[in-house]
Chain A
């Protein structure tokens, strides 16, 4: 499990915005992440990549947050994808049939 303070690393490369949360997306952290994500996607560019390589857990709220981010991007016409996902979490996305909405690539 990844512990530590919710910290969102944002990187911009060309038109792509890369968001990498440094700890798990769970009930205790989602609020903080939502705030930093909102800030980051004010200027999203052409594409947003959510880098989940540091994430080992994703609970109900975590899923909601990810979907919220996706929805915001979709509204803004920004491509959304998730990368660096641990196999277990990939399975969660697959189980809920979410992979048809956005690409999820494994770590």
Chain B
């Protein structure tokens, strides 16, 4: 059973008061900046908010809360009436008081323990300066029955405010037995009802009416209250559930008159009092009424905005859970009935309808829990204002994307991490104006809060233009604190080092200030963000500033996920983490998957991605479906590229890595295709390597954690489903690899994988890879440069049988076929008639140590090199004899020193499996004494 004071009234009050405070914070800031030119509307808003807090606190008897808000209200009233100017002192007092109010609301039951003396002191000092004594009271005589036995003690302002809202004041009497107990109410329930229809200014029971213990239970005690409401007297009685005779209206005119000089009057006798002090001039009335107008307009007509209804969060949470269950049931239903669709006419469309309605319902309910991130962002200007005053810095806050919505639970959990980051920015990052001037920066620092959507996530970036984080300092500190080992540190990038500030127990602040820097900060930011299924990263540039980026899911409850299978088990991977799927055909495994520092990596486009096997990380026995029997069998291979012993030796040989030259690559492709099923050797059905079977293809899910990506090898990819996250039971909460569980359409429970957890569990190191990648990139660049220098087009030809030569094409002008019978000998020179000239010929064996071209050939070829004569291309005046032309090729080769010596030999290389001598024809002709000068 609930206690006497209904908890929900108190929690409503707290929630409402918090909203009031949040709403007026920007107004207070505006007050501070606006100075004299402050809009009346802003002031009224602040005043009304504080006033309602005071009213509620008074009713629920939270004395401190009431006292402080009352003092604030008094001050605000003076400001509103233009009797008090807005100064820093006043604003400080108001801000400080507001914080106290917040503190009290945070633990409302202990609100009286919150010290408020200091704030009250400040406010009273301000009030006294204006000749106003706080807490001036008005005495209103209860005029009914008892005839003024007791007076209501009321705040002058409370009465004034009730009047200014156009309320009538009533004196009401309710009997504990007759009017309360017999109607099934509790005393408090009665007051709650009264509060719902108006304002309870005071209530009391007079024990003096009781004679003693003996007869007390037979007596019907009366609760007397002073009640303010816009209702007329008969309606007020009805609203209070009291007989009309027990409710009477006070003389409003007299009261109004009396209230005029309220600020000056300390004690005013109310009601029929003809001796009321000097009535105020009537002209003041409009001012009073004016103040009430906006309020009335607002409540009566609303803001033209959408109508809202206050709903308890637990109710929404409940609805959301139900919607989640509904989604699950729908999935089950669809799965169960999908095959019956044709048997029952109309079933398909019904299912489709259910499907759609469920989705929309779920979406709608999710919407109700969405809150703009602005509810968190908007508190930061205030925090920064306080801090900049305290620290003597000038800081401006910019807010972008305040309208971006997140699930309420996420918004709430963001408050602490964001506050921490902001405080860090202001305290550590932003320099003092002098420092900034020295660094040629704008003396006032900037902090930008930016929220936006990206890829189904919400990104919150907090950027400052402060001094940035020095990786050297961070590293020194981290080493000193033992957060990293020196061996690790050597491989760390600056970015990784800077991100060490998120490590537990890290703080770079040289002095511990009361604002931040207790050394527990940023790791809390990280752990909180990760708890939300998000990620935090930091980027910093020394001297220019720092950006902290939080990546967060939109909601925690329902997430689209990829369902994957490994060894017959299924797991869900949240889609936010999934970057892409990579299908590596079994035959390509050896080519696409490599080893770096002993770990497997996938080469994906230009990136090296570390690869983990889900089965191994989770400690599941790897298995495969035997293609011949369909049974699940244990997989004993441990690496993707493992060879299988005892099977077809030829297969193993053919897959052996081969040297890199380009022509070889072509060859390998052809060979890799050989073991494919099309042309199996006779006994292949049994002996065929499983690695080349399609069932051994690799399904790799590429996941992203922060800025890092990695591949997870799974056996099967199923479908993308909306799953409802069920929290893990305590017993397995420690398992890093899982973030939750869910129930599938077919009723089975599967675990949700935590991408970040997998990284930790598999001990993945992204730095190694980044270094390796960098290395490879450089290597590739270097190779490309060398290759470009090496690339040449050559004519491949033969001399004596089995001897191959290559001559650069750009050095050849003509290739002519000649009959051996046309060759004439003059002395030891041979000539051929070419275009009417005798062209001297050079035989290879005359210049270099090679075998002579077979003498019995009918025809041979003659190469006439290209020379430059007076700047124009011309035929060399000699030819080189070769026996045959084989090919014209573009090659990239590295020439090695040839074993054969002689003029004109560039080097040797293997071309198409033949050792080939590369020749420089000009050199060769010169060597033979047939060309003069070095013309080429």
Contact = CB atoms under 8 A, between A and B. Distances in A.
List the 3 shortest-distance A-B pairs measured between CB atoms, nearest first.
Answer: A68-B216, A97-B204, A94-B61
Interface string A25-65: 00100110010011001000000000000001111110111
A98 B237 CA distance: 25
B180 interface: yes
A86 B3 contact: yes
A71 B210 contact: yes
Interface string B152-195: 00000000000000000000000011001100001110010000
Contact of B211 (A27, A61, A71, A87): A71
A42 to B, nearest CB: 11
A65 B210 CA distance: 10
B188 A64 contact: no
Interface of B: 1, 3-5, 59-61, 63, 109, 176-177, 180-181, 186-188, 191, 202-205, 207-208, 210-217, 219, 221, 223
B interface secondary structure, majority: mixed
Given A69-B213, A98-B205, A88 B186 contact: no
A95 B61 contact: yes
A64 B177 CA distance: 9
A12 interface: no
A68 B217 CA distance: 8
B202 A64 contact: no
Contacts of B221: 63-64, 67
Given A64-B219, A91-B60, A38 B4 contact: no
A96 B214 CA distance: 22
B3 A56 contact: yes
A41 B212 CA distance: 11
Given A71-B210, A96-B205, A60 B187 contact: yes
B217 to A, nearest CB: 6
Nearest to B176: A60
B3 A97 contact: no
A89 interface: yes
B203 A64 contact: no
Contacts of A56: 3
A88 B181 contact: no
Interface string A65-107: 1011111100100000000001111111011111001000000
B217 A64 contact: yes
B207 A67 contact: yes
23 contacts: A31-B217, A34-B217, A37-B213, A57-B4, A59-B186, A60-B181, A64-B216, A65-B213, A65-B216, A67-B205, A68-B214, A68-B215, A70-B207, A71-B210, A71-B211, A72-B212, A72-B213, A72-B214, A89-B4, A91-B61, A95-B203, A96-B223, A97-B205
B216 to A, nearest CB: 3
B205 to A, nearest CB: 4
B187 to A, nearest CB: 6
A61 B216 CA distance: 9
A62 B487 CA distance: 75
Contact of A96 (B59, B186, B203, B208): B203
Contacts of A59: 4, 181, 186-187
A34 B4 contact: no
Interface centre among B176, B177, B191 (most CB of A within 10 A): B176
Interface centre among B203, B207, B208, B219 (most CB of A within 10 A): B207
Contacts of B208: 71
A72 B203 CA distance: 23
A57 B1 CA distance: 10
Given A95-B187, A96-B187, A96-B223, 5 more contacts: A38-B213, A70-B207, A71-B210, A72-B212, A91-B188
A61 B221 CA distance: 9
Contacts of B223: 96
A17 to B, nearest CB: 13
Contacts of A88: 3-5
Interface string A7-21: 000000000000000
A72 B63 CA distance: 30
Contacts of A68: 210, 212-217, 219
Contacts of A27: 181
A57 B187 CA distance: 11
A97 B3 CA distance: 20
B187 A63 contact: yes
A75 B211 CA distance: 9
A67 B187 CA distance: 14
B9 to A, nearest CB: 10
